[in-house]
Amino acid sequence: MLIMSGVETFFSKNAYYNFLRKNKELISRDPTDCDVYYCLGLAFEKQEKLIEAEIQYKRVLKIDPYYNKSAHNLAIVLTKQGKYTEALEQYEKNIRETPDDSSNVSCYGYLKFILGKYEEAIESFEEAMRKDPNESMPVLNKSLTLYCLGRLEPAIEVFEEGLGKIGENEKWEARFEEDLGIYEGELRRFEETLGSGDLGEIPRETLVRNIKALCFIVDSFKRVLL
């Protein structure tokens, strides 16, 4: 419980170094405590220290291969680092081990979107929607992918459906801002990748198409705010 409280403090006050020091003290007491390594991973991920986050999540899984939250976050940070082949393998493993978890299926679909495998991505988003009909993100990501396929009218309809699901949430305003922030962050990341010229496994044409789709989603969110 102490470590989880530390995470909340870190996220609310950004007391980064104090948080790390506290967790290192806990590790010295019990080097097999998965919660400590997992929360360190969260802290590093929050600071965009993705290599360090990856190391911590892998340490958790070495101790407990069935620590599902760490497995899920590991796939996310692998994706953010452009380690797409490893991320795909991790998501596929996660889905086998937790078949009822819609979040892994949804994120797996998003990775397919990144790689330009749009039809496969839509299949994953629709599967995630069946597993959790109340979740907005796979709906919004389906809209994103339809835009990439040139299906503008269905993309707009599905986007509006996703907004409706956000509106059903009691904390819809915070969720709206959170989802918009996610897409703005992804847009910045994709634009930085394009500007660097280091595209890795993504064809340039696919990356440009994905950027245009993210602009569509971000602009659609902002129009709702006006």
pLDDT in tens, 24-51: 655 555 567 888 889 889 888 988 899 9
Residue carrying the six token digits 């086998």: 96
Query: Do residue 68 and residue 130 come from a single domain?
Result: no
DSSP string computed for the chain: -HHHHHHHHHHHH--HHHHHHHHHHHHHH-TT-HHHHHHHHHHHHHTT-HHHHHHHHHHHHHH-TT-HHHHHHHHHHHHHTT-HHHHHHHHHHHHHH-TT-HHHHHHHHHHHHHTT-HHHHHHHHHHHHHH-TT-SHHHHHHHHHHHHTT-HHHHHHHHHHHHHHHHTSTTHHHHHHHHHHHHHHHHHHHHHHHHH---TTS-HHHHHHHHHHHHHHHHHHHHHH-
pLDDT at 219: 94
Q: What kind and span of H or E run contains 54?
A: helix 50-63
Instruction: Tell which of 99, 131, 149 closes a domain.
Output: 99
Residue 107 inside a domain? The answer is: no
Residue 105 domain flag: no
- How far apart CA 59 and CA 40 sit, in angstroms, is 11
Residue-level pLDDT at 12: 46
Tell me, yes or no, whether 37 lies in a domain. yes
Shared domain check, 188 and 138: yes
The boundaries of the domain holding residue 166 are: 116-226
Residues 157 and 195 in one domain: yes
| Cα–Cα distance for residue pair 165/140, rounded to 1 Å | 10
Q: What's the confidence (pLDDT) of residue 167?
A: 74
> What is the arithmetic mean of pLDDT over 81-86?
94
Identify which of 212, 217, 155, 154 has the alpha carbon closest to the alpha carbon of residue 183: 217
Q: Are residues 92 and 169 in the same domain?
A: no
First CA to last CA distance, the chain: 42
User: Does residue 111 belong to any structural domain of this protein?
Assistant: no
Q: Give the Å distances, CA to CA, from 51 to 2, 45, 200.
A: 25, 9, 17
| Mean pLDDT over the full length of the chain | 86
| 120 & 83 share domain | no
Residue 172 lies in a domain: yes
What pLDDT score was predicted for residue 109? 97
Report pLDDT for 46. Answer: 87
- Mean pLDDT, range 170-183, rounded to an integer: 82
Do 64 and 142 fall within a single domain?
A: no
For the domain that residue 20 is a member of, what is the CATH number?
A: 1.25.40.10
Count of domains in the chain? 2
Q: Each residue of 206-225: pLDDT tens digit?
A: 999 999 999 999 999 988 87
Contact yes or no for 92/61 (Cβ under 8 A): no
Residues 31 and 64 placed together within one structural domain of the fold? yes
The pLDDT of 111-116, averaged and rounded, is 96
pTM of the model: 0.85
pLDDT of residue 36: 85
In-domain check, residue 189:
yes
Is 104 within the bounds of a domain?
no
Asked whether residue 76 is assigned to any structural domain, the reply reads: yes
